Amino acid sequence: MIQPGRFITFEGGEGVGKSTNIQFCAEWLRSHGVEVLVTREPGGTPVAETIRNQLLKAHHSEPVDPMAELLLVFAARAQHINTLIKPALIAGKWVVCDRFTDSTVAYQGFGRGLPQAWIEELKLLVQRGLEPDCTFLLDAPLGIGMARARGRAISNGDVIDRFEQEQQEFFERVQQGFHWLAQHNRRMRRIDASQPLDNVQAQIAAVLQELTGL
């Protein structure tokens, strides 16, 4: 009988190094014989990626309503869970995801000011009990994270997306949301992402050893 896989998520504000550390996590697991699927939110499937593009694109002539934004996030999540995440977990793969519902709480809840009760109702409807087994919260001072994010966008020639264009106050609320989540969820492992990368990855590896029993 195939053992179900495990679900690992990476969370944090802009520029905290999620992409680099997700790659490290996946490589560590594969080197220890674990089959891994790496994905992201919003997105992960063709339909969900289409929704992602609409969410990130700046709509100068028509601002996106916060409630519409929330519903789009969960629409992408429903598609992602049912067509990619759940089948992978059932097949015994470990799923490593760049953002999940914690980001919705932080960005749409704390950032946009939408009621947590709305998010919880949609979470129950869409996730149907699916929760990460472990969440790495990469945390860094806002100034460091935003400088990294904008520097990366410039060096890659990317357009700064709709969220990255938000004001400092928005990101302060988002960070408060992540800190609140870390205090109320035992599955979350908060890591100081402003320290040297080797230190960050040593802490991630220690948690992965716990999860795998290796």
List C-alpha distances in Å: 133 to 65, 73, 111, 193, 212: 32, 21, 25, 21, 12
13 annotated ligand binder: yes
57 annotated ligand binder: no
Give the 3-state secondary structure of residue 125.
helix
86 annotated ligand binder: no
61 annotated ligand binder: no
Chain centroid to CA 93: 19
Give the 3-state secondary structure of residue 96.
strand
15 annotated ligand binder: yes
Beta bridge partners of 37: 95
Write the CB contacts of 125 (distance below 8 Å, at least 6 apart in sequence): 74
12 annotated ligand binder: yes
16 annotated ligand binder: yes
Tokens of 100: 């999940």
109 annotated ligand binder: no
Residues of each annotated binding site for ATP: 12-19
Residues of each annotated binding site: 12-19
